[in-house]
Chain A
Amino acid sequence: MILHEETVYEALDHAHGGEGHWAFGTGFDEPLAGVDTTVPEGIDPADLGAYCLMLGDDALVLAQRLTQWVTAAPELEEEVAIGNTALDLLGQARLLLARAGSVGVLGRSRTLATDSIPDEDALAYFRDPDEFRNTGLVAAENGDFGQTVVRLLVASTVRLAVFARLRESRDPVLAAIAAKGVNELAYHRDHAARWVLRLGDGTAESHRRVQAGVDAVWPHLADLFTATDVERRLTEAGVAVDPADVREEVVSVLTQVLDQATLRVPEWPADTPPRSRTGEHGPELSALLETLQGLARRHPAATW
């Protein structure tokens, strides 16, 4: 068949079956198109898929939280910064959810509503809250701007530490996603850290509010450093990172930033089993997903 499209829009449409499906990014840009997604020997695909959901959901949910600042950030430049950070995370989420899809995590949960859309979209838009594997840290409400930058500092510090190690993962797709993400996350972490410095070592009011943000975010550190069974097995297989192994680095980075920002480091919470990683979430995740998923779920075959 000879295809000589007149415009790039026709080419976009033609390249993906000519059905004009643009809703929810349907089909026109699969992030892993052409990537060899064979799972190396000795790696359990179900575990790998579950792990990619954890990492992907962390990014998706935090991206959605950050996006809530768009039109509401304290200044235009910061709005652009937050939007760009969210976009990087959304990109990481797409790659990771596509990786999860490529090893079959959707399996029997494919339904009529989702069988014609890419795996990443089916996973993002058509899972219920108890199927999400993100931490409570990223699902929590934004709070004020001070609390938002503290949460971003903590989340990007943990994620950067994990991704830096995942560059050596035995799954080459995961290793490549991590290598790409490291550059982005280093930028996010440093940006958040400089805001915490500026606000902590700023006026009495900015100090008070960012300290309140630290106090509000700190309890979420409790369930970040205990491995799930999936993480434990995959760490042994050389695929994943045991979150306990990044604890020291995270403590060191956060203490360094808070000290320099003249902020008090709250008592470190005792490690607890990561319930959110197995699907136990608070109502704040359901509310966030209602906004994220509402349109796609009400109009599953929507096109425009």
Chain B
Amino acid sequence: MTGVLTDPRAVAETVTDPELPMLTLADLGVLRDVRTEDDGTVIVDITPTYSGCPAMGVMRADLLHALHSAGFDDVEVRTVLSPAWSTDWISEAGRRKLAAAGIAPPGKAPVRPAGPVPLQLGPSRRTAACPLCGSADTVEQSEFGATACKALRRCRSCGEPFEHVKEI
């Protein structure tokens, strides 16, 4: 297929997350930068969500595929580790899309300043409104869900289980 050259950023911003396909990598805050070097090479910076995120390879390949298909022949996808990704990087649009898909978006990520990290021995203080009925009366079922980035909750009002992108 012969692509039409447009803005590489616009192309990169259409690529979606392999695990949360309702979100683009831009919504997720994984896409950090898209720029074109003097020699025409397109450089794309992405950052991993979790250190072990198994989707990074697919994200990289999806970006290459989209940009190559749009006619950009020389593309380099680079990893950026700093500043570390947190759920605060998920955009407002991303949060709305998550909720619309029945996944509770994350609240504010915990701040971890220099120095020892305090222990949290009590029950998890995370809260999330039910994305299905809106009730705030929900309970955490499991701190880990089907992917590293999600916890499992249940709504006490409508009884439905739902996933919650946990704050990290």
**A residues within 8 Å of B by Cβ?**
1-5, 7-12, 14-15, 25, 28-29, 31-35, 77, 80-81, 83-85, 87-92, 94-95, 160-161, 164, 167-168, 172-173, 175-177, 179-184, 186-187, 189-191, 193-194, 197, 249, 253, 256-257, 260
Task: Tell me whether A32 and B79 are in contact (CB under 8 A).
Answer: yes
Residue of B nearest to A10 (CB): B65
Task: Judge if B115 is at the interface, Cβ distance under 8 Å.
Answer: yes
Within 8 A of A (CB), among B56-82: 56-58, 60-62, 64-65, 68-69, 73, 76-82
Contacts of A25 in B (CB 8 A): 57
11 new A-B pairs (CB below 8 Å) besides A87-B52, A183-B86, A186-B117? A1-B73, A3-B64, A80-B144, A88-B52, A92-B51, A164-B112, A180-B85, A183-B110, A187-B143, A256-B119, A256-B121
Residue of B nearest to A183 (CB): B168
Contacts of A167 in B (CB 8 A): 114
Contacts of B100 in A (CB 8 A): none
- Provide the bound-state CA to CA distance between A69 and B11, in Å: 42
Task: Tell me whether B78 and A33 are in contact (CB under 8 A).
Answer: yes
Task: Judge if B159 is at the interface, Cβ distance under 8 Å.
Answer: no
Contacts of A9 in B (CB 8 A): 61
Min CB distance B149 to A, Å, is 9
**B residues within 8 Å of A by Cβ?**
1-3, 45, 48, 50-54, 56-58, 60-62, 64-65, 68-69, 73, 76-86, 109-110, 112, 114-117, 119-121, 123, 141-146, 148, 152, 168
Residue of B nearest to A75 (CB): B142
Task: Tell me whether A4 and B68 are in contact (CB under 8 A).
Answer: yes
Contacts of B48 in A (CB 8 A): 31, 91, 180
Shortest 6 CB-CB contacts between residues of A and residues of B:
A34-B78, A91-B52, A91-B51, A29-B57, A176-B81, A77-B142
Known: A11-B61, A35-B80, A180-B84. A87 touches B142 (CB 8 A): no
Contacts of A161 in B (CB 8 A): 116
Contacts of A92 in B (CB 8 A): 51-52
Residue of A nearest to B112 (CB): A182
Task: Tell me whether A180 and B152 are in contact (CB under 8 A).
Answer: no
Task: Tell me whether B62 and A257 are in contact (CB under 8 A).
Answer: no
Min CB distance A95 to B, Å, is 6
- Provide the bound-state CA to CA distance between A193 and B76, in Å: 43
Min CB distance B121 to A, Å, is 6
- Provide the bound-state CA to CA distance between A102 and B143, in Å: 35
Residue of B nearest to A92 (CB): B51
Residue of A nearest to B63 (CB): A11
Contacts of A187 in B (CB 8 A): 143, 168
Known: A4-B69, A91-B52. A164 touches B115 (CB 8 A): yes
Known: A88-B148, A164-B117, A190-B119. A184 touches B58 (CB 8 A): no
Question: CB within 8 A of B82: which of A7, A12, A176, A249?
Answer: A176
Task: Tell me whether A5 and B68 are in contact (CB under 8 A).
Answer: yes
Residue of A nearest to B53 (CB): A91
Known: A15-B60, A77-B141, A81-B143. A189 touches B119 (CB 8 A): yes
Task: Tell me whether B64 and A29 are in contact (CB under 8 A).
Answer: no
> What are 6 A-B pairs with beta-carbon distances under 8 A?
A12-B61, A80-B144, A88-B148, A94-B52, A179-B84, A182-B112
Residue of A nearest to B81 (CB): A176
- Provide the bound-state CA to CA distance between A32 and B77, in Å: 11
Task: Tell me whether B51 and A35 are in contact (CB under 8 A).
Answer: no
